[in-house]
Each structure stands twice: as structure tokens, then as C-alpha cells.
Amino acid sequence: MADPTLSDLAAEAGVSRSTAGRAMSGHKSVRDDTRRRVQAAARRIGYEPNRIARSLRSRNSMFVGIIVPDIAHGFYGRTVKAAQDVLEAAGYQILVMNTDREPHREQAALKTLLAHRVDGILLASSGGVTESPPVPTVFFDNLVAGAGEGNVARANKQGMDILVGHLVDAHGCERIAYLSGPPILTSGIERLDGFRDAMGARRLPVVPEHVVFGDEAWSPESGTVAMRDLLALPERPEAVITASDTIALGAIQAVRDRGLAVPDDIALVSFDDPFFGAFMEPQLTALRGDERALGEHAASLVLQALRTGSRERSVEVRIPVALTVRRSCGCASPGASH
Amino acid sequence: MADPTLSDLAAEAGVSRSTAGRAMSGHKSVRDDTRRRVQAAARRIGYEPNRIARSLRSRNSMFVGIIVPDIAHGFYGRTVKAAQDVLEAAGYQILVMNTDREPHREQAALKTLLAHRVDGILLASSGGVTESPPVPTVFFDNLVAGAGEGNVARANKQGMDILVGHLVDAHGCERIAYLSGPPILTSGIERLDGFRDAMGARRLPVVPEHVVFGDEAWSPESGTVAMRDLLALPERPEAVITASDTIALGAIQAVRDRGLAVPDDIALVSFDDPFFGAFMEPQLTALRGDERALGEHAASLVLQALRTGSRERSVEVRIPVALTVRRSCGCASPGASH
DNA sequence: CTGAAAGCGCTTACAG
DNA sequence: CTGAAAGCGCTTACAG
């Protein structure tokens, strides 16, 4: 019971294999009634073109590889899904590889994808790949300056400015702390720089002890530890900005554990708005990142490189972020957008 | 600059293409020094076997397709990742398709996977596929009784018994409500049945108005609506069980919106323990599902079917669930396990 | 518009 | 243990 092949289809339709093949692949020079006859035959015998054979012969795998730290992580899950929607609509399938943030696994993933002859790559690097792979590549989230056909990330610096701005303008905060991710990859570096710039622009000092670093996974647990350190300081900050929603989760718990409350004793705003931001206590004031736009944009850039075939200089795209004001910053009620 | 092929490798190593191929694919009958010579040559010219050609010729795509409602959803993301780890270790790659719970998209996904000649399938059905596909298939999460080579799901009924049991035994509850998912697929049906059985076994009545149904996505919003309805009842329940963590999120908010508190005014326990369960307010008492075990088990079952080649009768595997006791049930402190 | 033929890059009996 | 040869199921110039 092997799958029917083009030969079977040709026999059933009473045409040559060439014509049968052309009819199935949407080639222009096939008479309309011939095409219909072939398609009817295909339906009759349940013919489905073998994508593997097609790939081998046409030298297009129609696969795009995607490398992320962790597909089970909300941000990457949503980004990948958005990219997948765009790529599938263009006839591509995706091959997703997880690296768990280990550079050597990132290199292994790249090798696997190349063995599968992917036509292009979307890469949220953890530092394992530092130069352009031999196929069109778009870096996203963590960027490799000038590499690949494109770089897509959220507007990290601008985002930090919005967060600092809200705390200062709406709440009159001056002593603002920052719970940072490790400043190793661009997302971590840009947010830290953005925090410093935003503070400096407002003539506010960045107290060294008020910048605390979490772990590589930006985990809730590291947020708890960091916030605990912060609260142990003699001079407690009025507000804290967390570099991610996960860090915020841990930080809020540390505040509660200390018998204090957000936002009454300390205000908190976060980069990244989790899907449950409106269901937390207190509801989280946070920056929406629009992962869908990010994934779609990254996918569009590879598609463009695939279509034009030109390996042009890398373009850099920034996805804007917007503040969702809720309760954790000290605002009275949810609703208003910055 | 096309990739080097087996011919290039053979020339570089000074052997025939047959021997070069055998040396690369780990065939036994190749002299050790020959193999080493070929491997050295491969490294020199950067030869990487073309998986597409290999698949076409050997008639094994080495792909396993995975169909889920939504890869960006925590449960499916973690399950898929666990399955992927097992499958990759066995030399397979995965092809993940999302259906967004639409039956026609599930059918389209299956068709796409078959066109790619996947060797096996892992399927968390939303009802689009009701019989065994033409390749080894393991159903998971939502089952299709007796179909495929395997069925893997959490112990839904047992889980409901644990939840009801805790509310009754530890907290003396009698009027217990249930915020259900739609009882369409096995996960929803089994949990509802499990709730009824658990109540009946304890001689507790199931008040019809105390069973409220959420939407197909088991969304937080539907949890809010359901809980609001519940709280509007003249006879308010002492405790509520939610069919999922997402429903719990919405339900807790509805309680707060009403000016009441969990667990003081109404206790709440949940099926599904989200990664932030310990960071919520109140901390959630919930059933851990061990998605890793689920995904690994499902993957192992397809691998087994792939290895033996026998399409035997379907086996059914249940992944045990365990209660994580925190605060939302009314217990004083986190820690103890049921 | 259609057909005969070559070939994508491998694997795998078949001989030796 | 190694090589020559066939062939997996398509696509795609090349003729007509």
C-alpha cells in the first residue's frame, strides 16, 4: 500500500508524467481541461505530491529553521507561532530547535538545520552563533549587529524610557531601582543602557546598589533574590523596574514575604506584559511587546530575502512597545495607555 | 558554491561513492582506516549528508509530526518540548502544526504532515481527526478511544478526586462548585465526570447551578464570567474547583472584583499548576501534571511503534497528577503534598 | 500545450 | 570490505 506516485497519477489520468507533474504543481502551460482531468484523477487515487522528492529535485527544501532558547517560554512560543503563520501562508514549513541558552546547543541546532537544507533561518541567539550562517538569516530578540539579512527586536531603550518616564511623571518617583537580566546579550544590554540613559536624561542618579542582576534565565527565583537584596538596603528605593515579567513575579513575592505591599510600599513596573498581567495581585503595569508583530516581521524579512535571492546588507527593525497601566505602579485603576 | 556531495567526498577521500556513503552513514562493513579517511575528507571539504536525498532514497523521512491546538500555550509548549527531546535523541526531527482548536485546520495539518511523509504523528486532537491516520500515531491530552498506537493523558478522574478530597478532608467543605471546560473532548469530559464521581462517592450533592461551563479555549475571561455567575447565586458555594489554571486566574479576579477574598470567603483549587502558581496572590493550590513525563511518554510510544513496525492495538497510558498545596484552598502555608 | 529524458544526492541490493 | 549500477519521486530544460 505505498503512496501513489506521479506515475500512478499519469496512468490514471491518461497523460505523461511530465504533464501530470505540471498540472499538480500549478505550472502555467497546461490546458485547463487537462489540469482538471489530472486533479480529478489525483482525488480518485488519493495522490499527494511527495514533498521530499520535490525538495530534492527543485533544490528548495521549503523549510525555514527557527532557533530559540526555549519554545515553552511564553515570549518565544508566541513569537514562533506568529512567524509560523506567515511562513506557512507562503508555503514554508518550520523546523524549531531549542537551545536552552547553551551556545554549543545553538551551534548543533544550526548544523542540524543546515543538514536539512533549510532555505532560511530565524535565530534568537543565546550567543552561540556570532556570524551569518550560509543561508539567509534573520536574527531576532537578541541581535548580532550587522549580521544576517535582518535584525528584529523590541525597542528596548525606548521601552525603558517609557517605564522610567511613567514612574517619574505620574508618580514623582526619584529613587528608582532596576532588576536587570544579565547584560550579556543585546536585550539585556540595551535595557540596562536604556535605564541609565532614561535616568540620566531626567537628572536622576543611578545608585549602584539599586541595579541588581538576575540569572541567565531571567527566572522568577532570581527576581525574588534580587528584590530581597534591594529591600535589605538601608536606603530603600521608591520604585523598581524589572527587566522582565518573570523577574517581576519573583520580585513581588519578595515584597510580600517582607510584609510589604506593591505599590503602597514600593511601586513596580515591568518590561514584558504576561498574559496574566491583568489577573495578578496587584495587576501589573507593564510594557506590551507585541510578539505577533515581532514574529511576523522576522518571518517577512526571511521571505523577502528568499524571494529576491539577494543577500543584501542587514536591515534593523524595531518593534515598538507600549505601556499598559494597571495597579502595580501606584495608579488607581486599569485602563489608560501611556 | 553548492554544498559538497557524496561524489565530492568520494573524490577527496579516494574511494567510491558507495564506500563514502557507507562510511558516513555508519554502515558496519567499512574498514576502520577507510572510515577514518572518509571522515577526515568530510571534515576537510565540509561535507554534510543531504538529509533530503537520504530521506527520499531510504523512504524514512525521519520526521515525526506533532499537532497541537496552540504551541504558545504553556501546557502544549512544555509537552512538545519534552517530546522533542526524546525524538531528537532518537534521530528524528519534529514538525509542529497549530490548529487553534479548529477541526478543519487539524485536518489540513494532518494532510500537510502526510505530504511531508512523516514517519509518525503525535496528536493532541481538538476533534478534527477521529480515526487512525495512515502512519503510527499517538494521541495525547485529548484521546480518541482505541485509535492509533497509543493514547496518553493525565489521570483526569483521579485528579478530580484528589481536589474534591482535599477540600472535603482538609477543609470540611460540602458545597463545592465546579468551573468546567466544555465537556466536548475527553479532557473536559473526564474531569466533569471525575468531579461528579468524587462528589457522589462522598455523598455530596452536585447542585446543577454549581457546575458552570467556560469557553472552548478554557480562557481566563470565561473563568471570570463563570465565577461571577456563581457569586450571584443566592446560595454561594464554600469552595470552587476550576478545570484549569487559566480558568482559575479569571475566577480569582471575579472574586476580588466582588470585594471578596480567596480563600477567606471562598476556597479555590485548580486542575493544572501554572509556572507562576507560587507567585500568585493567593498562591494557588493546584494539581501538577508533569507535562515532561507526558510528552516523553507519548514520544516513546511512537518511537516504539516506529521501531517494531508493528501496528498493534492501542495502549492507554495515564500520567499521574499530584496536589501542590499552597494557600488558595485555605491551608495556612505552602509545602505539604497530598 | 505535451512528452521523452536527464538528474537532484543519496542508499542498497548485487557481485566480486 | 569495496565498487558499479539501479532507483527513490519528483522537476525542468529541450524538442516538437
Would you state the cell numbers that stand for residue B88, as one nine-digit string?
531528537
Is A103 within 7 A of strand D by CB distance? no
How many angstroms separate the CA of B13 from the C1' of C3?
41
Which residues on chain A are in Cβ contact (under 8 Å) with B280? 280-281
| Interface contact A72-B74, CB threshold 8 A | yes
CB A84 within 8 A of CB A303: no
The domain defined by A156-289 carries CATH number 3.40.50.1100? no
| Interface contact A281-B256, CB threshold 8 A | yes
User: How do residues B174-200 score in pLDDT, each as one tens digit?
Assistant: 999 999 999 999 999 999 999 999 999
User: How do residues B285-303 score in pLDDT, each as one tens digit?
Assistant: 999 989 999 999 999 999 9
Q: Is the pLDDT of residue B283 over 70?
A: yes
Find the nucleotide nearest A56 (Cα to C1′): C8
Interface of A with B (CB under 8 A): 3, 48-53, 55-56, 61, 70-74, 77-78, 80-81, 84, 93-96, 98, 111-112, 114-117, 220, 249-250, 252-253, 256, 274-276, 278-281
Q: Which of residues 37-76 of B touch strand D (CB under 7 A)?
A: 53, 56-57, 59
User: How do residues B13-23 score in pLDDT, each as one tens digit?
Assistant: 999 999 999 99
CB B124 within 8 A of CB B76: yes
For nucleotide D6, give the residue with the nearest CA to its C1': B57
Domain with CATH 1.10.260.40 in chain B: 6-49
Find the nucleotide nearest B18 (Cα to C1′): D3
User: How do residues A24-51 score in pLDDT, each as one tens digit?
Assistant: 988 888 888 899 999 999 999 999 999 9
> So what CATH class is B61-153+291-319?
alpha beta
**Distance (Å) from the alpha carbon of A278 to chain B's nearest alpha carbon:** 9
Q: What is the 3-state secondary structure (H, E, C) of chain A?
A: CCCCCHHHHHHHHCCCHHHHHHHHCCCCCCCHHHHHHHHHHHHHHCCCCCHHHHHHHHCCCCEEEEEECCCCCHHHHHHHHHHHHHHHHCCCEEEEEECCCCHHHHHHHHHHHHHCCCCEEEECCCCCCCCCCCCCEEEECCCCCCCCCEEEEECHHHHHHHHHHHHHHHHCCCCEEEEECCCCCHHHHHHHHHHHHHHHHCCCCCCHHHEEECCCCCCHHHHHHHHHHHHCCCCCCCEEEECCHHHHHHHHHHHHHCCCCCCCCCEEEEECCCCCHHHCCCCCEEEECCHHHHHHHHHHHHHHHHHHCCCCCCEEEEECCEEECCCCCCCCCCCCEC
For nucleotide D7, give the residue with the nearest CA to its C1': B57
**What would the mean pLDDT of B250-268 be, rounded to a whole number?**
95
User: How do residues A225-280 score in pLDDT, each as one tens digit?
Assistant: 999 999 999 989 999 999 999 999 999 999 999 999 999 999 999 999 999 998 88
Closest CA to B268 of B234, B222, B237: B237
Find the nucleotide nearest B56 (Cα to C1′): D8
By C-alpha distance, the chain A residue nearest B255 is A279
> Can you give the pTM of this predicted structure?
0.93
By C-alpha distance, the chain A residue nearest B1 is A134
Task: Name the residue facing B50 among A51, A77, A117 (closest C-beta).
Answer: A117
Which residues on chain A are in Cβ contact (under 8 Å) with B5? none
How many angstroms separate the CA of B10 from the C1' of D4?
14
**Distance (Å) from the alpha carbon of B178 to chain A's nearest alpha carbon:** 20
Domain with CATH 3.40.50.2300 in chain A: 60-153+291-319, 156-289
> So what CATH class is A6-49?
mainly alpha
The percentage of residues in chain B with a pLDDT greater than 70, rounded to a whole number, is 97
Task: Name the residue facing B115 among A51, A74, A279 (closest C-beta).
Answer: A51
How many angstroms separate the CA of B22 from the C1' of C5?
30
Domain with CATH 3.40.50.2300 in chain B: 61-153+291-319, 156-289
Domain A60-153+291-319 fold: Rossmann fold (3.40.50)
Assign B275 to helix, strand or coil: coil
User: How do residues A159-202 score in pLDDT, each as one tens digit?
Assistant: 999 999 999 999 999 999 999 999 999 999 999 999 999 999 99
